Structure 1
Amino acid sequence: MTSAVAGGFLAALAVSGQCSAQESDSAWSTEVTYTADITGVVSGGPVQAGKFLDNLDVIIDGDLDRLIGWRGAKLHLYLLNNNGGQPNNVAGTLQGVDNIEVGDTGARLYELWIEQDFDGKGSVLAGLYDVNSEFYSTAASDLLIAPPFGIGSELAATGPNGPSIFPSTALAVRARIGSAEGSYLQVAAVNAEASTLGDVDGVDADFDTGGLFLAEAGWTGPLRVAVGGWRYSEEQDDIRDTLPGGDPARSTAQGAYLLAEGPLYSNDDGLAARAFLRAGVSDGDTTDFEGGWQAGIRLDQVLASRPDSAFSIGVHQGLLSDKARANFRDDLIDPARAEQGVEITYADTIGRLTIQPSVQWIANPGGDRDADAIVVATLRLAVAIH
């Protein structure tokens, strides 16, 4: 790390962080979160100095009932800024190694939506929306840094430029029936072209590439279980098949997933263990992945004297499609059946500083059977200011 970057990093830590202002009699709530990572390959590959990257979240929620008398309505504004390097350029994996890495740095309007709640029995939301905030997500995996634990790679790798997930969202409408506890059904229609303010083309409102439609049904209680599906309205470029003129053939991108999470153990000292399991499949024609799965455990208050201490371990595997493996062979690469990894991480808060080291072991990086397994280390830091 150069002295200029290090100086900027330390300055950012001194003045940035996470703060929230939520008063029971206030119509507004604000949360600001600053995250800084140093991530790099430390074994098994092209070992280099760690890459510095950071993420700034500014979230503002407004109670429209208190503000303008619109009963049951909420306004949500989410601003995002990312800077720094791209550690996966060194790691060379298909699924990524750090969940705040972006291809294009800078500031974005990440989310801007209004939600209408119907007395806790359902809701409708419209605006710029991250589908992974409610679809194909598990709370028990949220401490892990590897991107596959956020959303399955077989969905994350679809669409003209990726679906409406971090770091670029799209215009969407989402409807949900059910309460926070019990059974629920939610559906969403999303612009297939993910682009927002801060991206080169700004917010895409033309819907020229069609839409992405998602549905998820589940039950939430002590154990949460859900099954979901997704499909694009317009065909996407096939990753291998071509037309007689040489242009890519077109295929329907679609898939399904299931997930479960729930408590495993708790004791009087505060230790609580939760587990998660997810699996998904896709068509395998429009993305390198025909499916994948993730599983893991999160432990909260690992140390009785440290209420914020948390530990998590997760395993993930991205299964390569037959067409992707054929493309690898054309490039004289012996393709693996899957790229897989294991992550172990621990986090704790000391005063205003949260420290989270993480280690990942990744086999068959880049889908190459002959590639050595790599070890990726990350140090994540955050500062809270109140």
Structure 2
Amino acid sequence: MLALAVARPAWAGDPPSVSASYITDVIGNASGGVERGVDWIGRLDLTVASGDRLFGIDGAHAQFDMMLLHGGGFSAVRTGDGQVLDNIDAPHAVRPFEAWISVPLTPRLRAKAGLVDLNSEFDPQNVGTLFLNSSFGIGPDLSQAGLDGPSIFPVTAPGMVLAYEPAGWSARLGVFDALAGDPEHLHRVFPDSFGRHGALVIGQASALIGPVVQAYAGAWAFTDPLPRIDAPGEARSAGGYVEIEARLLDDGPTRALKAWVRAGKATERANPIGTYVGGGFTWGGDRRMAGIAVARAILGDPAWRAGQPAVPAPYRAETAWEITARERMGRGLFLQPDMQYIVHPGWAPSVGNALVLALRLQWNWLGGH
């Protein structure tokens, strides 16, 4: 009773909410790639979120997300593609995904700190969330930077974000531990020490251009140098991206045509993917939506030269085409057939173009307060 009495003021009238989601993919490599076959992949999230008056502060709230992953490894075993064609494909793990507190500092300025998914604040591809390929969630020029990727799925890192969000535009600055988790101990929540490889600093600005266009521009850099790809020594890892989203047609809640394009560039001496360009179209609404998209990841010159001793030499670009459609079957239940065609998977001439078929089932549940 004493603990409850102490805890109640923290929620200040708004008790926490509990939600759950489960995404599962039955996915198969029909031709090409490394090996034909069918796999079952899944991601379960259990989330607890506070109300909007944490500790009695208007607009302050916290969130904790516990995640279970199973069946990962499809890209590595079946297709060999470098961009990872399924956005829940990851090694088996049970671990926290996010655990953060967000507090308003002024009416337009907020701060978030804790285990933060960088992609929830930076490099958003809101139109691309329909698709399964990982490149349509965050560009591979950023997602594959660093020693083991930044603070994104499936392993996040401690970080802090400042966001200034007046009407019509926004600016954000984030600082994250440069190495997310412990690559050799996937179930370990925190590394042995923080900041052992420096920090990742990222900034982004966005603006609404007219009533239908949203533009984003971001830049990022690691404070500590990383090993060079093609020679002994170290090099700086940094990059930037731009994105435009547009609502091309709006004929009610079920008939909207949207489009987006994103381009990114990373320093090539420290990052294998030097250039990325992707985007696509979606049509529909919350109940039914379909789309087509393309993602093209181009090796930088150092990464391409490093593979040159192989005969034949690696391709310069891997291109992923995706066609998908999602149908809401009931409250919180979605069914989504998907097809992808990967040209030059893993940039490897020895691996044939891959045709991948998938069926995604997604279930979302939101508990009461």
Q: What is the TM-score with the length of structure 2 in the denominator?
A: 0.89
- Alpha-carbon distance in structure 2 between the residues aligned to 1:212 and 1:268: 42
Give structure 1 stretches of 5+ with no counterpart: 1-24, 243-248, 302-306
In structure 1, the partner of 2:181 is 195
Amino acid at match of 2:240: A
Amino acid at match of 2:212: P
The answer to whether residue 183 in structure 2 is matched with residue 183 in structure 1 is no
In structure 2, the partner of 1:338 is 317
Residue 59 of structure 1 and its aligned partner are, at CA, apart by 2.0
Amino acid at match of 1:170: A
In structure 2, the partner of 1:225 is 215
Misfit runs of 4+, over 4 Å: none
Residue 26 of structure 1 and its aligned partner are, at CA, apart by 3.9
In structure 1, the partner of 2:336 is 356
Which shows bigger deviation, 338-347 or 84-93? 84-93
In structure 1, the partner of 2:287 is 308
Residue 137 of structure 1 and its aligned partner are, at CA, apart by 1.1
The answer to whether residue 302 in structure 2 is matched with residue 323 in structure 1 is yes
How many residues of Structure 1 are paired with residues of Structure 2 in the alignment? 348
- Alpha-carbon distance in structure 2 between the residues aligned to 1:36 and 1:49: 17
- 1:228/1:270 CA distance change after superposition, 3 Å: same
DSSP-derived class of the 1:329 partner: coil
Residue 61 of structure 1 and its aligned partner are, at CA, apart by 1.4
DSSP-derived class of the 2:346 partner: helix
Residue 230 of structure 1 and its aligned partner are, at CA, apart by 0.3
CA contact (8 A) 1:61 1:77 kept: yes
Amino acid at match of 1:292: Y
Matching of residues 1-386 of structure 1 within 5 Å: 26-63=14-51, 65=53, 67-88=54-75, 89-102=77-90, 104-118=91-105, 120-179=107-166, 181-195=167-181, 199-204=186-191, 205-220=193-208, 222-242=212-232, 249-268=233-252, 270-301=254-285, 308-352=287-331, 353-369=333-349, 371-384=351-364
CA contact (8 A) 1:40 1:376 kept: yes
CA contact (8 A) 2:156 2:181 kept: yes
- Alpha-carbon distance in structure 2 between the residues aligned to 1:95 and 1:356: 21
Which shows bigger deviation, 194-203 or 221-230? 194-203
- Alpha-carbon distance in structure 2 between the residues aligned to 1:154 and 1:68: 39
Q: What is the TM-score with the length of structure 1 in the denominator?
A: 0.85
Question: CA deviation digits over 1:333-378, x for unaligned, max 9?
Answer: 4221210111000010223542101100111111024642211111
Amino acid at match of 2:239: G
- 1:269/1:381 CA distance change after superposition, 3 Å: closer
Give structure 2 stretches of 5+ with no counterpart: 1-12
CA contact (8 A) 1:72 1:119 kept: no
Residue 250 of structure 1 and its aligned partner are, at CA, apart by 0.6
- Alpha-carbon distance in structure 2 between the residues aligned to 1:270 and 1:200: 42
CA contact (8 A) 2:212 2:248 kept: no
Residue 30 of structure 1 and its aligned partner are, at CA, apart by 2.5
CA contact (8 A) 2:19 2:365 kept: no
Residue 202 of structure 1 and its aligned partner are, at CA, apart by 2.8
RMSD (Å) for aligned C-alpha atoms = 2.0
- Alpha-carbon distance in structure 2 between the residues aligned to 1:278 and 1:334: 28
- Alpha-carbon distance in structure 1 between the residues aligned to 2:165 and 2:89: 35
Amino acid at match of 2:27: T
Amino acid at match of 1:230: W
DSSP-derived class of the 1:330 partner: coil
Amino acid at match of 1:96: V
- Alpha-carbon distance in structure 2 between the residues aligned to 1:34 and 1:186: 30
DSSP-derived class of the 1:132 partner: helix
Q: Percent same amino acid among aligned pairs?
A: 26
Residue 150 of structure 1 and its aligned partner are, at CA, apart by 1.1
Residue 269 of structure 1 and its aligned partner are, at CA, apart by 7.3
Which shows bigger deviation, 41-50 or 318-327? 41-50
CA contact (8 A) 1:109 1:196 kept: no
Residue 233 of structure 1 and its aligned partner are, at CA, apart by 0.2
Amino acid at match of 1:215: G
In structure 1, the partner of 2:8 is none
- Alpha-carbon distance in structure 2 between the residues aligned to 1:385 and 1:55: 14
- 1:268/1:172 CA distance change after superposition, 3 Å: closer
- Alpha-carbon distance in structure 2 between the residues aligned to 1:138 and 1:73: 26
CA contact (8 A) 1:76 1:111 kept: yes
- Alpha-carbon distance in structure 1 between the residues aligned to 2:129 and 2:107: 25
- Alpha-carbon distance in structure 1 between the residues aligned to 2:72 and 2:180: 22
CA contact (8 A) 1:223 1:261 kept: yes
CA contact (8 A) 1:163 1:169 kept: yes
Residue 273 of structure 1 and its aligned partner are, at CA, apart by 1.2
